[in-house]
Structure 1
Amino acid sequence: MALVFQRAGEGRFKVRTHALERMLAYRQDSRRKLEGGGLLLGRFILDSPDVVLDAVSTPMPGDLRERHRFVRSQAHQRVVDAAWWASGGTRVYLGEWHTHPEPVSSPSDEDVGSWRRHLADPRIYGEALFFIVVGTRVLRAWEGVRSDGSTVKIGEVRL
């Protein structure tokens, strides 16, 4: 099942089925499962306000994974670099995703602070970044606006 969210301004944020399935595989639907996460990769569609998320990185060796905490290793950047080169510069970093062990996910203060730091990073391509938090029953998506550092929830879906 692909997802389509209405962006904060114009356009849509489309999540391809394969990327969605990879994120959902790490849903913390039992007490033994640790937080998982990674980076969002996709394309800003030329001459359109639409954005397509078509790949994600997933937990890797070197990541810190606990029940209520996930910290990515540098290995994820290599995934972004490889995708960019393989696509001729059309597949780019779009943001981040991670899981939470709660039915309806809400970003923590630490999440929001991290999002703001990424939005302020001048090396990031595009006007927006996207953030997905996968709960045990609901997935929620936010769009971060780089010009003012704000984040807006753009949708949610029951799992």
Structure 2
Amino acid sequence: MKSINPAFLLFQIPGGGRLKISDQALDKMLSFRQLNLEDCEAGGVMLGRLLIDSNDVVIDEVTVPMCQDKRSRFAFYRHKRGHQAVINQRWHSSNGTCIYLGEWHTHPEPVPTPSTTDRNDWRRKLRADRFEKSLFFVIVGTHETKMWVGEKQCQLVQHMENITPDT
């Protein structure tokens, strides 16, 4: 039986490799689940590292909503400046090993599915954002957390399977 709140999440990357969301990053995202009717969507960026000599990725840290972000029950609009400052600071302090890996946000539904707005935003990020090869997108629902990966070259977005071991 799977734990409701595992210490970390592990996803299979299509084409090879795994993506791990660390316990610290997962705890931050889960703390913004929309469990009450008045809870607004939340989100931020995901930071982490590409593991040398493998196709594995680790999300070590996430940003959380900042004062300039716009939040409502069914929408989250991330203001670029504050989150970008965190990305830049982590990049410099890690000598380029901590990088921008993608975006996360919440949905007020048990098993989250991306809206048309989400998919359009993801495609826009694949065209416009500066990143290596792939961007990852997480949606935190009230009961499950789902993940997608978008490829820069073909701008294809695919769902990733959760392979977190039983706990």
Same fold, TM-score > 0.5, yes or no = yes
**Matched-pair identity in %:** 43
CA distance in 1, matches of 2:158, 2:71: 27
- Deviation (angstroms), 1:90: 0.6
TM-score (norm 2): 0.90
Q: How many residues align?
A: 157
Residue aligned with 1:77, SS: helix
Would the aligned equivalents of 2:51 and 2:57 in 1 still touch at CA under 8 Å? Answer: yes
CA distance in 1, matches of 2:145, 2:134: 19
Alignment of structure 1 residues 106-125 onto 2, 5 Å: 106-121=113-128, 124-125=130-131
Please tell me the root mean square deviation across aligned C-alpha atoms, in Å. Answer: 1.4
CA distance in 2, matches of 1:157, 1:60: 31
Residue aligned with 2:159, SS: strand
Deviation per residue, 1:92-130 (Å, 9 max, x gap)? 100000000111100111111111111112x52211110
Would the aligned equivalents of 1:139 and 1:157 in 2 still touch at CA under 8 Å? Answer: no
C-alpha change, 1:60 and 1:107, in structure 2 (3 Å) is same
Runs of 4+ aligned structure 1 residues displaced above 3 Å come to none
- Deviation (angstroms), 1:155: 2.5
Q: Select 1:100's aligned residue among 107, 113, 129.
A: 107
Would the aligned equivalents of 1:36 and 1:70 in 2 still touch at CA under 8 Å? Answer: yes
Would the aligned equivalents of 2:9 and 2:162 in 1 still touch at CA under 8 Å? Answer: no
Match of 1:40 in 2: 46
- Deviation (angstroms), 1:131: 0.2
C-alpha change, 1:137 and 1:67, in structure 2 (3 Å) is same
User: Where does the alignment leave 5 or more consecutive residues of structure 1 unmatched?
Assistant: none
Are 1:16 and 2:39 matched, yes or no? Answer: no
CA distance in 1, matches of 2:96, 2:11: 25
CA distance in 2, matches of 1:100, 1:2: 20
Of structures 1 and 2, the one with the larger relative CO (CA 8 A, separation 6+) is 2
